[in-house]
Amino acid sequence: MGSLTISFSPIRSSSLFFVILIVVCIFLSLLPHSVHSQCKNAPIIFNFGDSNSDTGGLVAGLGFPVKLPNGRTFFGASTGRFSDGRLVIDFLCQSVKASFLRPYLESLGPTFRNGVNFAVAGSTTLPKFVPFALNVQVMQFLRFKARSLQLAAAGGFGNLINDEGFREGLYMIDIGQNDLADSFSTNLSYVQVIKRIPSVIIEIKNAVKTLYDQGGRKFWVHNTGPLGCLPQKLSMVKRSSNDLDPCGCLSSYNDAARVFNEGLRHLCDEMRSEMKDATIVYVDMYAIKYDLISNSTKYGFSSPLMACCGFGGPPYNYNIKVSCGQTGSQACSEGSQYVSWDGIHYTEAANTIIASKILSTAYSTPRTPFDFFCRG
């Protein structure tokens, strides 16, 4: 199979870029929360999750190489993020005028004044006690909190998060996608995958309960996106024609994601009744992302099921042996109209729109502005 070169004429690439830019600007102009934060307190965020919100944890923890063109759009260099630029969590941090979250395992540079990112690519809820399962991330938080308070009590250490900061901080959870994906990859049937979901939900509950017992009262929980729309899955899964929905996504994978999301939504409802002094916001990432894919042209995108960076060409441009950044892979021109960056993760252009929809509160239950935790 020959190598793929994806390119556009300068005029077409430029015009498409401006179409996307105009759409993004319209969204942001309608969202006061994304521009005018009402925070009175310094925003502090603790994030737990997988590659959807990993800002360099895998690189810091394992030395795993995440090479250019990852990071090319905004940072101009690879930062360990699996995207050409910023992730959704980066835009959310910017919306409250907070600096980007640094990985917990980063050994040089971070001060962690505005929080910590415990998310690491590939993370799951199960099995437990393996790097970097959700319960391991929570244990890392417990260590971080205890050490921070210990050093603060000893004196001589500035800019540490204090007890009030831990109480008033926002605790974000975005995990579960890999639990579903890993189950399908081991050739479990759809019914078997569904049977595992309650165990995943329990682990998320355990995580929230532990954080709550530590004084956390403000939680922001993302459900999982349309797994069956990822170019990676579409290129690798053997399927029949009747397993594709009208958008061309894998129905069984998306159905499993919806079952997981329903369980997560019920969990959030349950926890609100049990933890009456806590705010627990559930965000429908599935609806946001599926809308972006099914109505891609409305947002200035085309080929929503094809990766910008990868190998193999249409229809999906994904090859597990030649992933983005590896020798032989090719990336589309900057400013091109792609939703998927590498077959698994989203482009900065897509993340911009996803974040703007989150900030609109239209997809949150209860409808709560993102900056609620730092309004004082």
pLDDT given for residue 31 in this prediction = 43
Q: Mind listing the pLDDT tens digit for each residue in 290-302?
A: 999 999 999 999 8
pLDDT tens, 190-236?
Answer: 999 999 999 999 999 999 999 999 999 999 999 999 999 999 999 99
Residues 145-195 have pLDDT tens digits of 999 999 999 987 878 999 999 999 999 999 999 999 999 999 999 999 999
Specify the pLDDT at position 19: 45
Q: Which domains does the chain show, CATH number per domain?
A: 10-371 (3.40.50.1110)
In the DSSP assignment, the letter for residue 57 is H
Six-digit token string for 190: 């759809």
364 by DSSP, 3-state: which? Answer: strand
What six digits make up the tokens of 255? 């159905």
Do β-strands 330-331 and 309-310 pair in parallel, antiparallel, or remain unpaired? antiparallel
Residues designated as active site = 51, 342, 345
**Tens of pLDDT, residues 358-373:** 999 999 999 999 999 9
- CA-to-CA distance for 278 and 32, rounded, in angstroms? 25
pLDDT (0 to 100) of residue 311: 98
pLDDT over threshold 60, residue 259:
yes
- 3-12, 72-81, 125-134: lowest mean pLDDT where? 3-12
Quick one: which of 93, 208, 104 has its CA closest to 147? 104
Q: What is the DSSP letter of 299?
A: G
* pTM more than 0.85: yes
DSSP result, 213-279: HTT--EEEEE----GGG-HHHHHH----GGGB-TTS-BHHHHHHHHHHHHHHHHHHHHHHHH-TT-E
Neighbours of 3 (CB within 10 A): 11
Mode of pairing for the β-strands spanning 309-310 and 115-117: unpaired
Instruction: Name the percent of the chain lying above pLDDT 70.
Output: 91
Average pLDDT, the chain: 91
